[in-house]
Structure 1
Amino acid sequence: MQKSAVLSVALSVCASVAAQAGQLGSPVDLQFIAGYDGTVQRYVQMLPTGFDPTDSHDVLIALHGHGSDRWQYATNTRDECRGARDVAGNHNMIFISPDYRASTSWMGPAAEADVVQLIGLLKSQHNVRNVILCGASMGGASSLIFTALHPDLVDGVCSSNGTANMMEYNNPSFTSAIAASYGGTKAQVPEQYTMRSPELFPGQFTMPVAFTVGGNDTVVPPDSVRRLAAELQTLGLSDVLMIDRPTGGHSTSYADTVAGLEFVMNAVPEPATMGLLGLGLAALIARKPRSR
């Protein structure tokens, strides 16, 4: 299906998604002991109403912005957060909002290790089908960083108003927090900034990807994400959607949030049934596109 057609379909379902919202249960505050350093790390989980643990479910992991924590995506009414919850509810997804070393994460080594551990924990507790990442601002950058570092753990990603190049990103409001998270400045640990610059590793993005950016965003300028999206479209490795609002700022509307996530959900493959074998072996499960 042409990307423009997919976008039209995604936009048309926004009203339907909003109408069907409220399909997630109440947020539950949970914790685990981080293998990285033994600290207590917290995350919020919201299960779909009528949750049946014997059924398989997709998981949406929503990564908060700078200065926030796990509760931002779980309870905040801003468009990016509300849209993510509504899409998760509409698709009967398990909704997860982690601290990932709140409040100034930027997907540094500790946050990265926590998300890897959390995905493993979720897969041990639930019958997980696909893992989708989303986030806005720092969360948008972090979702791309984690996906580039661990493409084997991510089945789709939607990034809003993030950066795709931490070597290039230079907002003085955040440089000290980023340095603390990465273990030093760009001059001190350049390898950390390089490996956390997804634009430099486009070949890692073989899963469906959606981006939203604003042309007037001065907090996290859109240029690196525009370049990454263009490169992914050139490579043809994955389904890619770019929602670029030339007059937009550092925010994404409800409609665009839903459109991006619905694009990813429609493009993520579903496991094909292998009932003839009856083995239940992950290595023998074929993949097929979702019906659109």
Structure 2
Amino acid sequence: MKRLVIATILFARSLLAAETEDIAFKSTLDGTEQRYVEMLPDSFEPMDAHDVLIAFHGHGSDRWQFIRDMRGECRGLRDVASKHGLIFVSPDYRAKTSWMGPAAEADVVQIIGDLKLRYQVHRVFIAGGSMGGTAALTLAALHPELIAGVCSLNGIANLVDYEKFQDARTASYGGTKSELPDEYKKRSAEFWSEKFTMPIALTTGGKDTIVPPQSVLRLVEKLQQAKRKVLSIHRENGGHSTTYADTCAAMEFVLREASAAN
């Protein structure tokens, strides 16, 4: 308990030291107001080139999850971003039940474009946990030209076979799987392994019943066969979460391999 209190105090101090801004923007898709949180690194210099890490929250949460939460996935991505001087961005991407539908996709592409107009952006990395890990895989499959690396924590790679959160996905995608089979397929990374030419790290848990690991493990096998730069951290006794250490290892792999490719 004492360690948790100390960690919370240190994190609060780090937020005060970091330049954190809650940013509103008008969606070019439908004119609605949307939001994301941006944290600039302590080493930020406006005229220097910086990499960006965009973190996608899980189902039922919003843009503040990866900014404030102390769980391993959130703290791990924040710490790696801080260590490497990355601009850290956490969008609502249509908030609590997004599942990276068409509107969320458009918002994130717009955010990336806006960041490149405001800053000297070198590379854009994406990550996320659970629904956010799925969102990272979906966005990379749809827009590989925008993404330098992917870190998917407890996500899913096949939304056609996946049966959970059906109401949320129907609302996000605009119809059911039987009504929009192509929409569900094009947002399922397993069908588009050839798009993943960038480094990618994936974590899964063998006892995860919320987001079962099988589709991601099949994607990993395809990527390995194609000799892609892929790291799979599978914990056979793990559930629907990724530890701080595994989160850091996954994200560090993506950054290291992306740098080695340049």
TM-score bucket of the superposed structures, by smaller chain? over 0.9
Instruction: Report whether the alignment pairs 1:100 with 2:93.
Output: yes
Matches within 5 A, 1:51-90: 51-90=44-83
Give the partner amino acid of 1:88.
Answer: A
Gaps of 5+ in 2: 1-9
- Corresponding residue of 1:252: 242
CA RMSD of aligned residues (A): 1.5
Distance 1:26 1:130 in 2: 20
Higher helix residue share: 2
8 A contact 2:134–2:156 mirrored in 1: yes
Give the partner amino acid of 2:46.
Answer: P
Give the partner amino acid of 2:248.
Answer: V
Give the partner amino acid of 1:255.
Answer: A
- Corresponding residue of 1:179: 170
Distance 2:112 2:132 in 1: 17
- TM-score scaled by length of structure 1: 0.83
Deviation per CA, 1:204-239: give whole Å up to 9, x if none. 000000000000000000000000011001011x31
Matches within 5 A, 1:1-292: 22=14, 25-171=18-164, 174-236=165-227, 238-269=228-259, 289=261
Shift of 1:191: 1.1
The worse-fitting range, judged by mean Cα deviation, of 205-214 and 48-57 is 48-57
Distance 2:241 2:95 in 1: 20
8 A contact 2:156–2:215 mirrored in 1: yes
Task: Tell me the percent identity.
Answer: 55
Structure 2 SS opposite 1:268: helix
Give the partner amino acid of 1:220.
Answer: V
Structure 1 SS opposite 2:231: strand
Give the partner amino acid of 1:244.
Answer: H
Distance 1:226 1:50 in 2: 37
Shift of 1:132: 0.4
Shift of 1:289: 3.0
Shift of 1:50: 3.5
Shift of 1:187: 0.7
Query: Paired residues, what number?
Result: 250
Give the partner amino acid of 1:289.
Answer: A
Distance 1:22 1:50 in 2: 13
Deviation per CA, 1:17-67: give whole Å up to 9, x if none. x9xx94971421001110110000100000001410111111000000000
Distance 1:289 1:56 in 2: 18
8 A contact 1:22–1:89 mirrored in 2: no
Distance 1:195 1:206 in 2: 17
Shift of 1:156: 0.1
Where does structure 1 differ by over 2 angstroms across 4 or more consecutive aligned residues? 21-24
Distance 1:39 1:191 in 2: 26
Shift of 1:95: 0.2
Structure 2 SS opposite 1:67: coil
Structure 2 SS opposite 1:201: helix
Distance 1:30 1:205 in 2: 30
8 A contact 2:19–2:41 mirrored in 1: no
Shift of 1:101: 0.1
Distance 1:28 1:249 in 2: 33
